[in-house]
Structures are given as structure tokens and as C-alpha cells.
Amino acid sequence: MAATTVFHTSLDAQKVEERLKQVQAKHALLSTNSYSYSMVSVSSELDNEILEEIGFDFHSVSNFGITEIRNAHPVLSRAVELMKEEFKDAEIIALFQNEIMI
């Protein structure tokens, strides 16, 4: 069973959508052949309440998820590192099963 890593960002949803297209074009690793992407969503009050409950003092503006397609290489942790690098000008949090990855 595949699990999704959820990314919360400080950028508005439209900017994140544009950035994800650029990131996918730049990094073959993050292509849609290796990962399934959920739509970028505007974060809700509930999203922010959950982040606060698990210990974050962070205001999420938008969020999206990526799921590694079975047998995709390399592993999801490398994709998380690339997202961290590509979104370094914004605040970003990655959660996998409510565990903090970045």
C-alpha cells in the first residue's frame, strides 16, 4: 500500500502549481512516471489546527501530496530533499504519516 507525503507551504496555490510544473520538468526523478501528485489545495483552518496540534508554529497557505508509484526509484526521501531544495525560498513542511520529514 502506497502512502502519501503531504507538503504544506507558505506560498499560494497557484504559485505552487507553477513551481511543481517547473520542478517536474527540471528533475526526471520527480516526473509523473515516478510519482503521483495530488492537486494543490488551499489550506484550511483545520489543516492549520492539525499542524499546531502536532507541534508546528507554521501557517500553511497551500498543500499538495506526492505518492511514490510502486517500484519507482529512487526512494521517496530523495524526492522530499529535492522539494526542500526547490522550495527553499518559501516555508515548506513535509509530513509522512504525521511524522515530520522536513
Interatomic CA distance for residues 75 and 90, integer angstroms: 24
Model confidence over 51-91: pLDDT tens digits?
999 888 889 999 999 887 766 555 677 788 889 999 999 99
**What domains can be seen in the chain, in order of their start residue?**
4-100 (3.30.70.2920)
Grid cell at residue 102: 522536513
Contact 79, 35 (CB under 8 A): yes
Query: What's the chain's Rg over C-alpha atoms?
Result: 13
Q: What is the pTM of this model?
A: 0.85
